[in-house]
Structure 1
Amino acid sequence: MALLNNLCNFRVKRQYFNGKYLIPAISILLLVAVIAVSNAYFPFLVIMPRTRSIWLSYSSFSTSTGGRKADGETCDIFRGEWVPDHDAPYYTNDTCPIIHEHYDCMKYGKLDLGFVQWRWRPDGRDLPRLDPARFLSSMRGKTLAFIGDSLAKNHMNSLICLLTRVAEPTTSWPSSEHTVYHYGGGYNFTVLNFWAPFLVRSELVDADGPAHTGLWNLYLDEPDAAWAPLVPAFDYAVVSASSWFYRPSMLYEAGRLVGCHHCLLPNVTDLTLRYALRMATRAALRAVVGCGGVTAVLRTVSPSQYEGGEWNKDGNCVRTRPYRRGEKTLQGFELDFHTLQVEEFEAAKRAASGGGVRMMLMDTTEAMILGADAHPSRYRGWTRRKE
């Protein structure tokens, strides 16, 4: 895709690259494509030349067959490869005001930016670049919500940065977990971000915890109040979460402790992080599809690209080019996460069948595992927690 973004202008020495958002950046045009088949037509979604319409299928894991291309064949935008894109980057730290200085990896010492100039190309087709003006026009009067962890926030930030090329939103913060970006000027388009890393209600009960990453109470059948009451106001809700479930947690259902993940407490059953993510995903999807008129989009897990160790140990993101197809495969917890997300999506879709609910599986995992990660890893500004 032509969306390896939030990136620096190589011709300007003092203009730094922010690498935080490469993982979610690829998802923006895929998201646009997914939205386009949810009973909406976006004129910028075309196959070159621009006289032919693009049709999509969602995923080999999804029961949906999408549509047909002009030549009668299906086009799966989630299967493909990374190819060079010498026109990238498409926005910079200077042109996008919402990029946080904390994630300015070039400022903090990252020198090799070879991972920047790549785009995602589905098998047999090229995806066109996002046309910000046409996108805003097509989304006139709509509300798009991103719900989840930092990847959900970065996904949203990438979209805002691209749209800034033609319009800048007004920003408000109804709460510390809720940010609103509104585009006026005749667009009346609203983008919402909700910080809900577990999707459900959570409480930090021990800042250190058994693994030094905190111990949390998770209420697996209670969607987070930061976003759940506002669902009726959404037109599209993009749900994505996974990485925070590695943290040790106590698991509750119906107000009762049912088990834990890595709590290391006697007489408490370890149900594992797989159970926690499955039940939280189930609760979130039910909350979204329970409100008629909302298109629910579930974005699958983005695998970690750390090499040489874990994120909080000796790991680093050092690749400058994507993997070739088949060179790296999904394994371990990430494979389990992807499997359960697909299963919960299909179960929610079956339960909502006939109710006029629109659901989309945004299966970006294959693209993400092949991509060269732009996570700033150790090249970022660290902010110590106040004691």
Structure 2
Amino acid sequence: MLMASKLTPTLITWLILPSCLLIFLYSMLLTLYTAPRSHSSNSKNQILAPPKCNLLKGHWVFDPNHKPMYNSTCPFHRNSWNCIKNQRENMSRINSWKWVPEQCDLNRVDPVRFLGLMRNRNIGFVGDSLNENFLVSFLCVLRVADAGAKKWKRKGAWSGAYFPKFNVTVAYHRAVLLAKYEWRSQQLLLSDKDGVKGTFRVDTDIPADDWANIADFYDVLVFNTGHWWHYDKFPKEMSLVFFEGGKPIHPPLEMLDGFKVVLENMVAHIEKVFPKRMLKFWRLQSPRHFHGGDWNQNGSCLFDKPLEELQ
């Protein structure tokens, strides 16, 4: 039986190269024939808009060079919440985390540029402590651009600041449910259930007094609510009772159902009463991160890094 003679490396190379070249040329021709033809004569001058950046899609990055823009002397901190002044443990590590979106850059706030753009305008925050905590940090950052900033508490504001150099006011109105609510003790109730201390009447269609009269003052408003809609804030012995049009809602609503009704009514109120020119934002909630118990159960926040996505 005859054995086939071995092919030399040089011969193999010369056999493969023409084949590869033919495949390449064929693929190029195929692309030319199958590519869709433009119906516009000036299509080459058209520029595709870059994809929009989703700032919420990203991850936390540890950067030891990332430091706060302010120090413990900022006058807008509440003493018990001034973590820098109170020398909270691992504070330098906590302040070294920064949020990095996946497909775009997120620069740090430039307080001079920001206040310059907002000159002669007012910014308001309405909601619970999530908005308040943000406001405190925000005021301290903006103070870098105007050391003459002064505390401001008018129009029912819980806290705030006025920046005279730019004629800008930034303030927070505390309204944890957004809607008006008031305590009714057991003595005022017709029912006499064991363990019930009283109820909170929630008028789902009436805004809380703290922000009821600010429609003509602010140019930008940021709303939030959420963390107070839980039974650790309003246990069954001090539950919420929902009203609409001055009358109790029947059948009675569970807490989350009442939450939905309040949101619908507050949005309708904002759209009806507040000027169209006003810029309005709805702020989402952050996860609770107490360790060893909830806020009212001797819990504490010992973490020095952001929560993981599935935590």
TM exceeds 0.5? yes
Is the CA contact 1:202–1:219 (under 8 Å) kept in the aligned structure 2?
yes
Is the CA contact 2:153–2:171 (under 8 Å) kept in the aligned structure 1?
no
Tell me what 1:236 maps to.
Answer: 220
Is the CA contact 2:156–2:210 (under 8 Å) kept in the aligned structure 1?
no
Deviations 1:199-227 (Å, cap 9, x if unpaired)?
Answer: 111113359x9999984221111012321
Letter in 1 for 2:270: V
Residue 304 (structure 1) aligned with residue 288 (structure 2): yes
Tell me what 1:184 maps to.
Answer: 164
Tell me what 2:117 maps to.
Answer: 138
Deviations 1:307-332 (Å, cap 9, x if unpaired)?
Answer: 332221142212222234x432xxxx
Residue 249 (structure 1) aligned with residue 240 (structure 2): yes
Letter in 2 for 1:77: L
- Secondary structure (helix, strand or coil) at the match of 2:216 reads helix
Distance 1:238 1:106 in 2: 26
* Ranges in structure 1 where 5+ consecutive residues have no aligned partner: 1-68, 260-267, 329-387
Is the CA contact 1:289–1:296 (under 8 Å) kept in the aligned structure 2?
no
Query: Which residues of 2 match residues 1-387 of structure 1 at below 5 A?
Result: 72-86=50-64, 87-94=66-73, 96-105=74-83, 110-113=88-91, 114-167=93-146, 168-174=148-154, 177-185=157-165, 187-206=166-185, 215-246=199-230, 247=234, 248-258=239-249, 269=252, 271-290=253-272, 291=274, 292-324=276-308, 326-328=309-311
- Secondary structure (helix, strand or coil) at the match of 1:144 reads strand
Is the CA contact 1:288–1:296 (under 8 Å) kept in the aligned structure 2?
no
Is the CA contact 2:72–2:84 (under 8 Å) kept in the aligned structure 1?
no
Is the CA contact 1:147–1:239 (under 8 Å) kept in the aligned structure 2?
yes
Structure with more relative contact order (C-alpha pairs < 8 Å, separation 6 or more):
1
Is the CA contact 1:180–1:192 (under 8 Å) kept in the aligned structure 2?
yes
Greater helix fraction, Structure 1 or Structure 2? 2
Distance 2:117 2:175 in 1: 28
* Alignment CA distance shift 1:182-1:79 (3 Å): same
- Secondary structure (helix, strand or coil) at the match of 1:226 reads helix
Runs in 1 of length 4+ with deviation above 3 angstroms?
A: 104-110, 175-180, 209-215
Distance 2:118 2:108 in 1: 17
- With normalisation by structure 2, the TM-score equals 0.71
Question: Shift of residue 106 of structure 1?
Answer: 6.5
* Bigger mean CA deviation after superposition, 237-246 or 302-311: 302-311
* Alignment CA distance shift 1:137-1:109 (3 Å): closer
- With normalisation by structure 1, the TM-score equals 0.58
* Alignment CA distance shift 1:212-1:323 (3 Å): farther
* Bigger mean CA deviation after superposition, 246-255 or 101-110: 101-110
Distance 2:128 2:197 in 1: 16
- What is the aligned length? 247
Distance 2:62 2:173 in 1: 33
Distance 1:101 1:210 in 2: 40
- Secondary structure (helix, strand or coil) at the match of 1:193 reads strand
Is the CA contact 1:288–1:294 (under 8 Å) kept in the aligned structure 2?
no
Query: Kindly, what percent of the aligned residue pairs are identical?
Result: 24
- Secondary structure (helix, strand or coil) at the match of 2:152 reads strand
Letter in 1 for 2:267: L
Question: Shift of residue 137 of structure 1?
Answer: 0.3
Is the CA contact 1:139–1:189 (under 8 Å) kept in the aligned structure 2?
yes
Structure of larger gyration radius: 2
Question: Shift of residue 138 of structure 1?
Answer: 0.3
